[in-house]
């Protein structure tokens, strides 16, 4: 092997997942895991120490900061490491916030070991790798922008799926009830439905929200 190994931080709240990632990645001669983090805040703090090239970031960490928020904090630092999201979630509600937060790549945990290693190298070089399902959906959004739900519409619909009323939605998102109703009207129109239940079902089938 020539050159300096790519230095990695594994950020995931499941020890078994971190152990699996470490085993796969350290089988590669040019990759080395230098640290692990069990929470998103821990990942942000560790990534700031200056000896990490790529952070492999999960999205869900239970209570507190999530992976998209951690990604935004890490990528906001000049000269900070790249972030490669590695998660089980591929809905628009998950992918859009992570990509908007500055993730260099987005991979699913069912990826082949060689694909994971290749994605790490690609991220380290500053280029993008997207899981095929994620790439397909992003391309569809670009092809049919008028039919795609906005991030706010997805956020509203996710909370509808969680059972929140319009009033509760308005409080949660710091909006007026009228604004919530306007978002829902646009969602209904785009999805071709006429009720909250039908909208949730359609969005789930299309992979827009996670249930």
Runs of H (alpha helix) within 7-110: 15-25, 40-47, 67-75, 92-100
Sketch the domain layout of the chain as residue ranges: 6-140, 151-205
Q: Which among 27, 26, 31 is positioned nearest to 6, based on CA atoms?
A: 31
Model pTM?
A: 0.80
Matching fold, domains 6-140 and 151-205: no
Instruction: Tell me the residue length of the chain.
Output: 211
Q: Please compute, for residue 197, the number of CA atoms within 13 A of its CA located in the half-sphere on the CB side.
A: 0
Q: Which fold has domain 151-205?
A: Arc Repressor Mutant, subunit A (1.10.10)
Q: Are the C-beta atoms of residues 123 and 129 closer than 8 Å to each other?
A: yes
Q: Which H or E run contains 59?
A: none
In tens, the pLDDT along 149-181 reads 888 999 999 999 999 999 999 999 999 999 999
In tens, the pLDDT along 106-131 reads 999 999 999 999 999 999 999 999 99
pLDDT in the model for residue 210: 81
The Cα 125–Cα 120 span in angstroms is: 9
Return the CATH architecture of domain 6-140.
3-Layer(aba) Sandwich (3.40)
């Amino acid at each position: 092997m020539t050159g300096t190994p790519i230095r990695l931080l594994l950020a995931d709240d499941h020890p078994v997942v971190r152990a699996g990632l470490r085993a796969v990645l350290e089988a590669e001669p040019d990759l080395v895991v230098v640290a692990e983090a069990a929470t998103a805040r821990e990942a942000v703090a560790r990534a700031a120490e200056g000896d990490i090239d790529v952070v492999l970031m999960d999205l869900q960490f239970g209570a507190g900061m999530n992976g998209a928020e951690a990604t935004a904090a890490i990528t906001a630092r000049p000269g900070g490491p790249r972030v490669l999201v590695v998660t089980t979630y591929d809905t628009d509600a998950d992918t859009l916030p992570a990509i908007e937060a500055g993730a260099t790549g987005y991979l699913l945990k069912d990826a082949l070991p060689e694909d994971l290693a290749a994605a790490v190298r690609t991220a380290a070089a500053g280029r993008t790798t997207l899981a095929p399902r994620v790439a397909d959906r992003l391309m569809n959004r670009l092809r049919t922008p008028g039919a795609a739900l906005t991030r706010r519409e997805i956020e509203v619909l996710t909370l509808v799926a969680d059972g929140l009323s319009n009033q509760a939605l308005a409080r949660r998102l710091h909006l007026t009830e009228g604004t919530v109703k306007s978002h829902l009207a646009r969602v209904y129109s785009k999805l071709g439905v006429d009720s909250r239940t039908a909208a949730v079902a359609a969005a789930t089938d299309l992979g827009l929200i996670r249930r």
